[in-house]
Amino acid sequence: MKHTLLLAGLLAASAPGWAQRAPATPAKPAKAAGNPIFPGWYADPEAAIFGKQYWIYPTYSAPYNQQVYLDAFSSPDLVTWTKHPHVLDTASVKWAHRAMWAPAIVEKGGKYYLFFGANDYHPEKANEPPGGIGVAVADSPAGPFKDLLKRPLVGTVENGAQPIDQFVFKDGDGKYYLIYGGWGHCNIAQLKDDFTGFVPFADGTTFRSITPQGYVEGPLMFRRQGKYYFMWSEGGWTGPDYSVAYAVGDSPFGPFQRVGKILAQDPKVGTGAGHHSVIQVPGTERWYIAYHRHPLGDADGNHRQVCLEEMHFDKTGRILPVKITTQGVAAQPLKR
């Protein structure tokens, strides 16, 4: 879907005296994406850049029993989005039957690995079938993704963390980490090179808790100027107060001291702004935050829509609070 907005600059063109100063060829109006960036109920957007395309992999935000597939969306410029239906489907993951959640994508060695949660695993329930975090692989970011392991990669509750809301972080030394967890607990574990399991830490443990104060779910990590930024969602995802906070550390293991919230509802724009991801345009200091929010006045918890805003840092490296908008971001074609 294409959203085109004429920016305020055009209005200014009618100001007295403008005609004399205007260039002979009027500037092309900048396009803006508009929020939400594509139609439909979607949540937990994982944003990525592969080649000259932006990608977004969201959760299909329907009742759990209908969450049996994942769609993806691609764009050359953040404005025009193409839908890739059912890039992963429970039909190709035998152990997954509902609640397919919060994809995380990584490219390695020419293959694309899509990590996902499935089944809303609750081991305390009688006859609970397997569930947790799985991994699927494809030759293209558009799929089709096929189950890599034929079983969950994480199918147990470790350190109190529900096995959902996975994120894959690649550190500067080439090591990949799975960072995940619901129920207010977050773990980090080092992935094996082929993503089929984990490399235990030197102390013999596999899952290390890095849960910061206020953490609920939806973790994410990135590195900037030698610092590790750890971000997560707080509050309840069905309600208006869902939001995003962050901490900064010197290693992927922290310790992480909560700095504060940077994304939250704006009662004039949308509510429940949370479960985000972050992308940096390669070779620039341009950063974007993808997140979901509820439309104003809509109390259905599943009614979530994917939005995009720019994200900025101050001179000391603090993330500035993000203003949620209806106009979204300007077109940003990728150069390489």
User: So which residues are the catalytic ones?
Assistant: 44, 217
- Which parts of 280-309 interact with ligand FUB (CB under 6 A)? none
Judged by CB under 6 A, the chain residues 189 through 218 that form the site for ligand FUB are: 217-218
For the chain, the 3-state helix, strand and coil shares in percent, each to the nearest 5, are 5, 40, 55
Nearer to ligand FUB, 3 or 276 (CB): 276
Cβ distance to ligand FUB smaller for residue 243 or 325: 243
Binding mask 227-266 for ligand FUB (x = CB under 6 A): ----------x-----------------------------
- Report 140-169 residues binding ligand FUB (CB under 6 A): 164-165
Q: Indicate the residue among 216 and 329 with the shorter CB distance to ligand FUB.
A: 216
Q: Which residues are bridge partners to 261 per DSSP?
A: 245
Q: Which is nearer to ligand FUB, 113 or 180 (CB)?
A: 180
* Direct distance between the N- and C-terminal alpha carbons of the chain, in angstroms, rounded to an integer: 24
Q: How many residues line the site for ligand FUB (CB under 6 A)?
A: 11
- Length of the chain counted residue by residue: 336
**283: alpha, beta or left, given left = phi > 0 and alpha = psi -120 to 50?**
left
Please tell me whether residue 296 adopts helix, strand or coil conformation. Answer: coil
Which amino acid does the sequence have at 37?
Answer: I
Least distance in angstroms from the C-beta of 138 to ligand FUB: 22
Q: How far is the CB of 237 from ligand FUB (least distance, A)?
A: 4
101 forms part of the interface with ligand FUB (CB under 6 A): yes
Q: Please state, in angstroms and rounded to a whole number, the distance separating the CA atoms of residues 89 and 272.
A: 27
HSE-CB at 334 with a 13 A cutoff on CA atoms is: 19
Write down the least CB distance from residue 164 to ligand FUB, Å: 5
210: helix, coil or strand? coil
**Bridge partner residues of 167 (DSSP):** 179
**Largest CA-CA distance found in the chain, in angstroms, rounded:** 77
φ and ψ at residue 298, rounded to 5 degrees: -110, 115
| One residue of 32, 33, 37, 43 binding ligand FUB per CB under 6 A | 43
CA 178 to chain centre: 14
Which residue's CB is nearer to ligand FUB, number 217 or number 309?
217
The DSSP secondary-structure symbol of 92 reads G
- Mapped onto helix, strand or coil, the DSSP state of residue 19 is helix
Q: Name the residue nearer to ligand FUB (CB basis): 59 or 332.
A: 59
Nearest CA to 215 out of 190, 184, 193 is that of: 184
Q: Closest CB to ligand FUB among 31 and 275?
A: 275
User: CB of residue 63 vs ligand FUB: minimum separation in angstroms?
Assistant: 11
Among 275, 276, 293, 294, interactor with ligand FUB by CB under 6 A: 275
- For the CB of residue 287, give the shortest distance to ligand FUB in the complex, in Å: 21
Site string for ligand FUB, 61-100 (x = CB under 6 A): ----------------------------------------
CB of 90 to ligand FUB, least distance (A): 15
Query: Which of 3, 47, 59, 273 touches ligand FUB by CB under 6 A?
Result: 59
Residue with tokens 């470790």: 158
As measured in angstroms, the least distance from the Cβ of 288 to ligand FUB is 19
**CA–CA distances in Å: residue 119 to residues 62, 215, 318:** 14, 22, 37
Is the distance from CB of 319 to CB of 19 less than 8 angstroms? Answer: no
Give residues in contact with ligand FUB (CB under 6 A): 43-44, 59, 101-102, 164-165, 217-218, 237, 275
